[in-house]
Amino acid sequence: MATISDVARAAGVSPATVSRVFNGGRVTPERVERVRKAASDLGFSPNRVARSLRMQRASVIGLLVPDIENPFFTSLARGVEDAAQRTNLSVVLCNTDDDVEKERRYLDIALAEQMAGVIVAAASRKHTDLSALAARGMPVVAVDRRPRAAAVDAVTVDNQLGGEEATAHLLDGGYERVACITGPAGASTSEDRLAGYRAAMRDAGVSEESTRPYVRYADYRVDGGYAATRELLALPSPPDAVFVTNSLMTVGALQALRESGIEPPDVGVLSFGDVPWASLVRPPLTTVQLPSYDMGASAAALLQERLAGSGKPLQTVVLRTALQPRESTRGPAARD
């Protein structure tokens, strides 16, 4: 059976030109004649062009993440791709940089290119808008971060519980002035992990008013963690432990501590998000382990169900975190 490429080769034009000929695009009369003759000679009908294009588009899904340099999203993307490949879906990766406008442009592209569906880690809980995709009936799965108003399938972790357990671990270790460096204001993961920190501090008898000087919003990147830690160390009564809500900011926090002549566990450091090097640094880093690969694979599986015509109610899959204690939080209680 002849394909678009066969027709293009016989006519001496590109496959895109063949598509334009049969879909009313602007093409010179001479090329139109060559394409139609080649199609006739090969027994290729125009409706096969449209069908071929639909098949190509229907085999592609979009994956929108804030930053693929973040090891969490690297692992998540691998989970999406591995699961998608099992049903011959290809993945187009888009970095939104936590920019709602950039995210919107990528969503517009997904619609214009008639992708089969989209998996998105929302740039903003409040401002990410998926309504245009819903209006077109395009399947969407939110992963890691869920927009507040969107009625979509979702795969998340219990960020609040993870943040609470992390902070409680620091307090149980004998640390008293525990700080929290969280991510961008408005991102669901930032707010949920911060809520967990505040809940643990309240349970320990520390008021929100007392914790306010020890909370910093940053950008989930190395520089953000560095700047936030420098600010915390400059306080009249600096923290004796820091709960950092992602692994890249933890790198910046460790750098700032080291420049100030401070080494964990003298100031405890706990990272939300495990990385391969966590056990290799000195001292080894206490982390909250996230099932990032499984989150990506689960998101792809949910999307595949929708593409297969699943009529199930919307689903939210919530995975658990796991605290991995190491030497960076071996606080005063452990050393007494």
State the angle between helix axes of 46-58 and 15-22 in degrees (0 to 180), rounded to the nearest 10. Answer: 120
Q: Are residues 139 and 258 in the same domain?
A: no
Q: Write down the mean pLDDT value for the chain.
A: 90
Q: Are residues 327 and 235 in the same domain?
A: yes
Q: Name the nearest CA neighbour of 268 among 248, 250, 280.
A: 250
Q: Are residues 19 and 4 in the same domain?
A: yes
Query: Rounded to two decimals, what is the model's pTM?
Result: 0.77
Q: Establish if 174 belongs to a structural domain.
A: yes
Listed as own residue / partner, the contacts of 48-54 with beta carbons closer than 8 Å and 24 or more positions apart are 48/2, 49/4, 49/18, 49/19, 49/22, 49/23, 50/22, 50/23, 52/3, 52/4, 53/19, 54/114
Q: Are residues 208 and 189 in the same domain?
A: yes
| Cα gap 315→98, rounded to integer Å | 25
The proportion of the chain whose per-residue pLDDT surpasses 70, expressed as a percent, equals 93
Per DSSP, 320 falls in state P
pLDDT at 193 over 90: yes
How many residues are listed for the chain in this entry? 336
Give pLDDT, residue 43: 82
On whether the CB atoms of residues 318 and 159 are closer than 8 A, the answer is no
Q: Are residues 267 and 309 in the same domain?
A: no
Q: Are residues 69 and 147 in the same domain?
A: yes
Q: Are residues 93 and 145 in the same domain?
A: yes
Q: Name the nearest CA neighbour of 187 among 64, 317, 98, 272.
A: 98
Q: Establish if 53 belongs to a structural domain.
A: no
State the angle between helix axes of 292-307 and 71-85 in degrees (0 to 180), rounded to the nearest 10. Answer: 40
Per DSSP, 284 falls in state P
Q: Are residues 22 and 128 in the same domain?
A: no
Q: Are residues 300 and 280 in the same domain?
A: no
Q: Establish if 80 belongs to a structural domain.
A: yes
Q: Are residues 96 and 183 in the same domain?
A: no
CA 127 vs. chain centroid, Å, equals 16
Q: Are residues 200 and 329 in the same domain?
A: yes
| Cα gap 208→145, rounded to integer Å | 25
pLDDT at 158 over 50: yes
pLDDT at 47 over 60: no
Written as six digits, the tokens of 303 are 């999307």
CA torsion 201-205-210-215 (nearest 10°) is 0
Domain carrying residue 286: 159-291+323-335
Give pLDDT, residue 146: 83
Q: Are residues 196 and 245 in the same domain?
A: yes
Give pLDDT, residue 59: 85
Q: Establish if 47 belongs to a structural domain.
A: no
Q: How many domains does the chain have?
A: 3
Neighbours of 320 (CB within 10 A): 11
Q: Establish if 153 belongs to a structural domain.
A: yes
Q: Establish if 50 belongs to a structural domain.
A: no
Q: Name the nearest CA neighbour of 138 among 154, 165, 156, 119.
A: 119
pLDDT at 192 over 70: yes
**Domain harbouring 330, CATH code:** 3.40.50.2300
Q: Establish if 49 belongs to a structural domain.
A: no
On whether the CB atoms of residues 140 and 152 are closer than 8 A, the answer is yes
Q: What is the mean pLDDT of residues 204-223?
A: 96
pLDDT at 127 over 70: yes
On whether the CB atoms of residues 270 and 246 are closer than 8 A, the answer is no
Q: Which phi-psi region, left, alpha or beta, contains residue 189 (left: φ > 0; alpha: ψ -120 to 50)? A: alpha
Question: What is the H or E stretch that residue 323 is in?
Answer: strand 322-324
Q: Establish if 215 belongs to a structural domain.
A: yes
Q: Name the nearest CA neighbour of 317 among 4, 79, 31.
A: 79
Q: Which phi-psi region, left, alpha or beta, contains residue 192 (left: φ > 0; alpha: ψ -120 to 50)? A: alpha
Segments in 117-187 forming alpha helices (H): 131-135, 159-172
